[in-house]
């Protein structure tokens, strides 16, 4: 199976991340105690989000193989404050870089990877300390400034991997986060063979310039008030697909957040933008901005590529409702970041094993006259098994790791759920197949 080897290799390399460079104090972990540096780094990965004191002692007893040992939750929280959350980012970067070193084998559209960038709001502990560290003002009478943070991700819309992620104050704008993701992703994958999709909130010239500078491609759902002159011109000439030369004047450039991109835009002076109008199934039309030439993607293909962007919402659903990423195990920002980035790493392990397991599913679901179904791995069971077996995975024994991963995959291939394949619309239905004798009006055209 394709991804299994990457996962087993990464778990086998866990000790490469048990390093002093991730320790934020010269004096921490210098003396032998119940909790070693390796144990503290493992803890967020093994935490099953139950009561903290129960989780702490369950973890420690498994770690030391001593059923009588105990420790307070305050002790482990104190130790965790000395661990840089970057350790989990580096673990995830290592896994993703190895996977996307095989980018050509994983391409999903004419040799290209298709990704999506989007953000979501998560609840964080509503304490004075947490609010101060995340720069959230004290609550007002109208509760305008809620205790929340923004998480932002760049995800592969075909394979579901999260390539880049961060957690910030919710006031950090989406374009700034998107530029961070692009800079991060360029070290893990070939952006010249990557198409990134964005919703209306990312309708900014600055993001387009950044993508062009990286020799990459974008598809952005357009707002009606952006490049209004060009959109109006297309309406007058009844053109659905046209490329324009966009001037980069001072008014546009001064709105940029990034100083380097301002200088780059001043040198460019103009760029080419393709504007495409596509019709949806409900009869309405949408406008897409892109720098993809027509020889790579037709308007219909652009519509399909943008349509796949919704899959990033599935990722956020899994993070929030399957991995329970909002159940943070501490109040301090550093612990919240540890929880977040460790769970991004776990998410990608989950997706790797899920993709492999689903390639091996042979069971065919029963088809009815009304719906079609397909079998998928039970994500809840897969997450539970990964969490349960995490102590066996974070060892020095490569054979033990290989065996554990195979056991997890064997269960994932058998414990399945079936999902309904999207039913056809009225326009797509085969009238001979779906026609009902008692309803002869089905033959009539509808609006």
CA distance 259 to 256: 7
Residue 425's pLDDT is 54
Q: Apex CA 72: angle with CA 70 and CA 73, to 5°?
A: 130
**Residue 429: φ, ψ to 5°:** -65, 140
**Those residues with Cβ within 8 angstroms of residue 248's Cβ, 6 or more apart along the chain or in another chain:** 205, 209, 265, 266, 268, 269, 270, 271
Question: What whole-number distance in Å separates Cα of residue 336 and Cα of residue 169?
Answer: 12
Strand 270-279, strand 241-247: pairing: antiparallel
Tokens of 125: 């502990």
Say if strands 270-279 and 194-198 run parallel, antiparallel, or are unpaired.
unpaired
What residues does 72 pair with on adjacent strands? none
Q: How many angstroms separate the CA atoms of 100 and 190, rounded?
A: 8
| 3-class DSSP string for 333-381 | HHHHHHHHHHHHHHHHHHHHHHHHHHHCCCCCCCCCCCCCEEEEECHHH
Strand 241-247 to 162-169 pairing: unpaired
pLDDT score recorded for residue 434: 44
pLDDT in tens, the chain (447 residues): 689 999 999 999 999 999 999 999 998 998 888 889 999 999 999 988 887 888 888 888 888 888 888 888 888 899 999 999 999 999 999 999 999 998 778 888 999 999 999 999 999 999 999 999 999 887 655 556 679 999 999 999 999 999 999 999 999 989 999 999 999 999 999 999 999 999 987 778 999 999 999 999 999 999 888 899 999 999 999 999 999 999 999 988 998 988 999 999 999 989 999 999 999 877 788 999 999 999 999 999 999 999 999 999 999 999 999 999 999 999 999 999 999 999 999 999 999 999 999 998 888 776 765 677 888 999 999 999 999 999 899 988 999 999 999 999 999 999 998 887 765 555 544 445 444 444 444 433 332
C-alpha to C-alpha distance for 181 and 199, rounded to whole angstroms: 15
pLDDT of residue 422: 64
CB 4, CB 405: distance < 8 Å: yes
Kindly report the pTM of this predicted structure. Answer: 0.90
What distance in Å separates the CA atoms of residue 132 and residue 148, rounded to the nearest whole number? 12
Contacts of 319 (CB under 8 A, 6+ apart): 151, 325, 343, 347
Query: What domains does the chain contain, in order, with CATH numbers?
Result: 4-85+328-359+379-414 (no CATH), 107-316 (3.90.350.10)
CA angle 432, 433, 438 (to 5 degrees): 75
**Residue 343 pLDDT:** 96
- Site of tokens 């997450």: 383
């Amino acid at each position: 199976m394709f991804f299994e080897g990457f996962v087993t290799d990464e778990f086998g390399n866990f000790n490469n991340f048990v390093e002093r460079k991730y320790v934020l104090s010269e004096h921490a972990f210098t003396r032998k105690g119940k909790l070693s540096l390796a144990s503290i780094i493992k803890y967020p990965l093994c935490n099953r989000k139950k009561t903290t004191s129960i989780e702490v002692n369950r973890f420690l007893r498994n770690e030391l193989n001593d059923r009588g040992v105990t420790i307070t939750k305050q002790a482990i929280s104190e130790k965790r404050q000395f661990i840089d959350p970057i350790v989990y980012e580096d673990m995830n970067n290592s896994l993703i870089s190895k996977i996307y070193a095989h980018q050509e084998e994983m391409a999903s559209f004419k040799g290209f990877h298709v990704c999506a960038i989007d953000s979501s709001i998560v609840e964080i502990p509503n304490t004075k300390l947490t609010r101060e560290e995340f720069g959230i003002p004290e609550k007002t009478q109208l509760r305008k400034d809620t205790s929340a943070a923004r998480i932002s991700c760049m995800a592969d819309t075909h394979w579901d991997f999260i390539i880049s992620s961060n957690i910030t104050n919710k006031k950090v704008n989406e374009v700034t986060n998107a530029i961070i993701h692009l800079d991060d992703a360029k070290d893990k994958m070939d952006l010249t063979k990557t198409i990134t999709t964005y919703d209306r909130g990312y309708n900014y010239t600055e993001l387009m310039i950044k993508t062009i500078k990286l020799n990459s491609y974008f598809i952005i759902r357009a707002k009606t008030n952006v490049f209004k002159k060009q959109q109006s011109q297309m309406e007058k000439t009844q053109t659905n697909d046209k490329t324009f030369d966009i001037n980069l004047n001072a008014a546009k450039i001064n709105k940029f957040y990034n100083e380097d991109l301002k200088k780059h835009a001043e040198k460019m002076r103009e760029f080419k933008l393709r504007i495409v109008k596509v019709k949806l199934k409900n009869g309405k039309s949408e406008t897409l901005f892109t720098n993809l030439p027509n020889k790579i993607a037709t308007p219909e293909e652009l519509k399909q590529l943008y349509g796949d962007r919704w899959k990033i919402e599935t990722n956020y659903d899994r993070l929030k409702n399957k991995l329970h990423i909002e159940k943070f195990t501490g109040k301090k920002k550093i612990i919240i970041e540890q929880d977040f980035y460790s769970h991004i790493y776990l998410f990608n392990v989950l997706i790797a094993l899920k993709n492999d397991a689903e390639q091996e599913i042979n069971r065919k679901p029963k088809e009815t006259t009304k719906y079609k179904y397909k079998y998928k791995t039970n994500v809840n069971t897969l997450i539970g098994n990964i969490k349960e077996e995490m102590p066996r995975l974070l060892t020095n024994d490569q054979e033990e790791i290989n065996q554990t991963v195979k056991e997890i995959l064997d269960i994932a291939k058998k414990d399945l759920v079936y999902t309904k394949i999207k039913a056809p619309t009225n326009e797509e239905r085969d009238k001979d197949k779906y026609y009902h004798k008692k309803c002869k009006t089905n033959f009539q055209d509808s609006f």
